Amino acid sequence: MANPLKLAADIGGTFTDIVLEQGKKRWSGKVLTTVHAPEVAVLEGLQQVIAEAGFKPSDVDVFIHGTTLATNALIERKGAKTAFITTQGFRDVIEQGYEKRFDHYDLMIDRAVPLVPRHLRLALRERLAVNGDVLIPLDEAAVPALAKTIREEGVKAVAIGLMHAYAHPQHEKRVAELLKPLLPEDVTICLSSEVAPEIREYERFSTTVANAYVRPLMASYLFRLRDGLARIGLDAPLYLMMSGGGLTTLETAARFPIRLVESGPAGGAILASRMAQSLKLPEVLSFDMGGTTAKICLLSHAEPERAHRFEIARAYKDMKGSGIPVRIPVIEMVEIGAGGGSIARVDKLGRLTVGPDSAGSTPGPVSYGRGGEMPTVTDANVCLGKIDPEFFAGGKVKLNVEAAQNAFATHIGEKLNLKDFWPAAGVAEIVEENMANAARVHAIERGKEIAACVMIAFGGGAPLHACRLAEKIGVSKVIVPQGAGVGSAIGFLQAPVAYEITRSFAVNLDAFNAAKVNQLLKEMSQAAESVVKPAMQSGKPSLTIKADCRYVGQGHEIPISIPVRTLTNADGAKLKAEFEKAYKAVYGLVIPNQQAEAITWSVTCSSPVPKVEVAKKAARRAAPKPLRTRRIFDAAAGKQMNAPVYWRFDMKPGAAIKGPAIIAEHETSTIVGSRFKAEINSLGQIVMEKVK
């Protein structure tokens, strides 16, 4: 298949982005997300883009999809009614959490309310020891009574999490085997030994409950989408983007939907990674701003930071510890409520605030004319001249400038005694400062120098705010890719088919048992390959193996890489040396004469990824004639200025301009600030640099 026709769809809180690609040709579009039936917007949008490109749905060779549906269900508490079955004495683990305050000095903190209320946390008499010995036999006779409670309560999802099931799952499997025939067919059952087979019961139970909570919703959506695609004649393989940056099959996604919670943002990180490779950028800050949120991710040598723990639906001031922890492979990033739909208001203390709540697609910003009443960031950009009201979303959405101006005057201007464009300018400045602060904190927490980064900006909103954000955080270069408005969907098309298996299995590195480790890694590798190989189009998959290690007696681990080969007992010393090297890099010391152990092992199987095209020096050429001039507010200058408007596709490689200027395209516009210059590189990307 020389030039396959590849399709991608990314569902956001406001827009659903569609990208169609064949070789170097690309077609794209945006449609408003249909919140109550997301597949409607996907099917509508992809048919529009496919028709505009001159193809039929049956011509598509592969379809890749990412969605925030699972995340939104957890945040908005719109998942299935769920029960949790656990070992007697542990029913309150998911409410007790870490048994510590995430803010020691605030007496009014709010913790995340458990997804399962206490009366649906059902205790079962059983107990396995950490080595698998049966301390208390499983009380099989009690299972029918649990099933009766589940039926009477109208439960649609059951999470089963028993003590030490991560290593010894026999009791969990037996409970599920006994329970299944006693429940209606539409009740789903999730086992912690399958969802998150790792130590630390709170996080394992929490992840399993979250997976059960969203599985009926996600499985229903995915199968409705599959049936809808079949109706229009699109029978290409369907893959789902996962939070860790890999693709998986529909069946696996429907079984483990918790792995999709950050699928959209992960696509953006993949795009930034590929760009960093092609431009040979050592340190990158990826800035993705859509209709509902802004996402910031740091990349070193083209690799985004990754983690195995993520927190969803933070309940208090976006503070770490106030959300629901899940153990899944995820690309590390910070996400804040700062998107085009973020609502602006004056709070009780007379302060101008923006977000985190969003107008979404329904009713949307005031300028959409769909019933929105409170002004948003998009409304601010319309009032400041940064968005063309006649050509928003490629002309599909006509914006009402007067309505946006009236909303700012009523809800902000009158309360703060601000006139003309100043309420909108204040909102833009606040949201940019919110994003700058999030970027600073994210970099400091990871020991990064943010000013050394190059910013890659994409999403419908990021190119509008990138220059001002760069000024605030000290970044001197900003790059906007082609198709920036649908950047995450483009990232989907560049992602490998990949799957990660993680299991906890304690091994002392000073008394290394290679035979047991090799057997474990063989089983994990086969399980990961069984997911990846059937979905691959061609080539040979590769394996990556890591282990989380610590000194014996410690409570936290550091990941190290494991060679992909048959290990010997002598490798224990080598792995300990790798661990101590990593430990010293983090803590500045090693602990002499202290034994070390590997606690959790992970195996990732990935399909090969095509090589990137390296950017070349483009010969300087004159910029095209601007389409028109528009009056915009330039925050750096603190005043309104005339800005020429250029059509992006008229600007060839080597064309250069000075700010202030607007570079317009179908799904977004890039604002070149008055302190920046911009040039088109050999790959058609906009490279903006601060003028010294």
Contact indicator for 11, 357 with CB cutoff of 8 Å = no
How many whole angstroms from its chain centre is CA 671?
Answer: 25
| Confidence bin at 309 (pLDDT 50/70/90) | confident
Phi, psi (rounded to 5 degrees) for 154: 70, 30
Residue 566 in this model has a pLDDT that exceeds 80: yes
Give CA–CA dist 288/291, Å, rounded: 10
Residue bearing the bigger pLDDT, 228 or 538? 228
How would you write 568-603 as a 3-class SS string?
Answer: CCCHHHHHHHHHHHHHHHHHCCCCCCCCEEEEEEEE
Say what the pLDDT of residue 360 is.
78
Which range has the worst mean pLDDT, 124-133, 267-276, 312-321, 616-625? Answer: 312-321
What is the average per-residue pLDDT within 471-485?
93
Residue 521 in this model has a pLDDT that exceeds 60: yes
Q: Which of 214-228, 303-317, 615-629 has the highest mean pLDDT?
A: 214-228
Say what the pLDDT of residue 4 is.
86
Give CA–CA dist 26/45, Å, rounded: 15
Three-state DSSP state, 228: helix
What is the average per-residue pLDDT within 81-109?
88
Give CA–CA dist 591/199, Å, rounded: 24
Three-state DSSP state, 623: coil
Say what the pLDDT of residue 614 is.
86
| Confidence bin at 609 (pLDDT 50/70/90) | confident
What is the average per-residue pLDDT within 538-544?
87
Say what the pLDDT of residue 175 is.
97
Pairing state of beta strands 134-136 and 558-562?
Answer: unpaired
Residue 1 in this model has a pLDDT that exceeds 60: no
Of 489, 466, 496, 433, which is closest to residue 285 (Cα–Cα)? 466
What is the average per-residue pLDDT within 637-644?
91
Contact indicator for 640, 428 with CB cutoff of 8 Å = no
Say what the pLDDT of residue 2 is.
61
Q: Give 73-142 as a DSSP string.
A: HHHHT-S--EEEEEETT-TTHHHHTTSS-SSTT-TT--PPPPSS-GGGEEEE--EE-TTS-EEE---GGG
Residue bearing the bigger pLDDT, 77 or 168? 168
Of 340, 336, 338, which is closest to residue 318 (Cα–Cα)? 336
How many whole angstroms from its chain centre is CA 27?
Answer: 24
Tell me the per-residue pLDDT of 116-140, one tens digit each, with 9 for 90 and over: 999 999 999 999 999 899 999 999 9
What is the average per-residue pLDDT within 45-71?
91
What is the average per-residue pLDDT within 513-541?
89
What is the average per-residue pLDDT within 512-532?
93
Return the beta strands (E) in 247-361 as ranges. 247-249, 283-289, 294-300, 303-304, 306-307, 310-312, 324-326, 330-331, 334-336, 342-346, 352-358
What is the average per-residue pLDDT within 257-263?
89
| Confidence bin at 317 (pLDDT 50/70/90) | low
Give CA–CA dist 606/586, Å, rounded: 28
Say what the pLDDT of residue 687 is.
95
Give CA–CA dist 99/111, Å, rounded: 11
Q: Sign of dihedral through CA atoms 296, 298, 304, 310?
A: negative
Contact indicator for 309, 202 with CB cutoff of 8 Å = no
Three-state DSSP state, 9: strand
What letter does residue 244 receive in the DSSP assignment?
T
| % of the chain surpassing 90 pLDDT | 60
Say what the pLDDT of residue 75 is.
78
Three-state DSSP state, 283: strand
| Confidence bin at 100 (pLDDT 50/70/90) | confident
Residue 511 in this model has a pLDDT that exceeds 90: yes
Whole-prediction pTM value? 0.87
Residue 313 in this model has a pLDDT that exceeds 60: yes
Residues in the chain: 692
Say what the pLDDT of residue 538 is.
73
* C-alpha pair distances (Å), 249 with each of 68, 193, 451, 495: 17, 21, 39, 13
Q: Sign of dihedral through CA atoms 448, 453, 459, 463?
A: positive
Residue bearing the bigger pLDDT, 616 or 230? 230
Say what the pLDDT of residue 265 is.
86
What is the average per-residue pLDDT within 459-488?
92
* C-alpha pair distances (Å), 674 with each of 445, 534, 634, 650, 692: 32, 52, 7, 21, 12
Give CA–CA dist 169/318, Å, rounded: 35
What is the average per-residue pLDDT within 557-578?
95
Longest dimension (CA), the chain: 82
| Confidence bin at 462 (pLDDT 50/70/90) | very high
Contact indicator for 246, 256 with CB cutoff of 8 Å = no
Q: For the chain, give the mean pLDDT.
A: 90
| Confidence bin at 342 (pLDDT 50/70/90) | confident
